[in-house]
Amino acid sequence: MKTRISLISAAALLALALPALAEGTVDTSSWNQGGGEQDEALHLTPNHENGIEVYEVCSACHQLNGWGLEDGTFPQIAGQHKDVIIKQLADIRALNRDNPTMYPFALPSEIGGAQSIADVAEYISKLPMNPNNGKGPGTNLALGEQLYKDNCVRCHGAEGEGDDAKFYPRIQGQHFNYLMRQYEWIKTGKRRNANPDMVQQIQGFTDADTEAVLDYVSRLKPPAELVAAPDWVNPDFE
Task: Return binding residues for heme c.
Answer: 58, 61-62, 102, 152, 155-156
Residues 80 and 169: their CA atoms lie apart, in Å, by 7
Known binding residues are: 58, 61-62, 102, 152, 155-156
Q: Which of 101, 103, 100, 106 lies closest to 121 in space, CA to CA?
A: 106
Hey, how many other C-beta atoms are within 10 angstroms of the C-beta on 225?
A: 6
Q: Which of 77, 82, 58, 56 lies closest to 66 in space, CA to CA?
A: 77
Backbone angles phi and psi of 50, in degrees to 5 = -70, -30
Hey, how many other C-beta atoms are within 10 angstroms of the C-beta on 54?
A: 23
Residues 56 and 236: their CA atoms lie apart, in Å, by 10
Q: Which of 141, 123, 17 lies closest to 80 in space, CA to CA?
A: 123
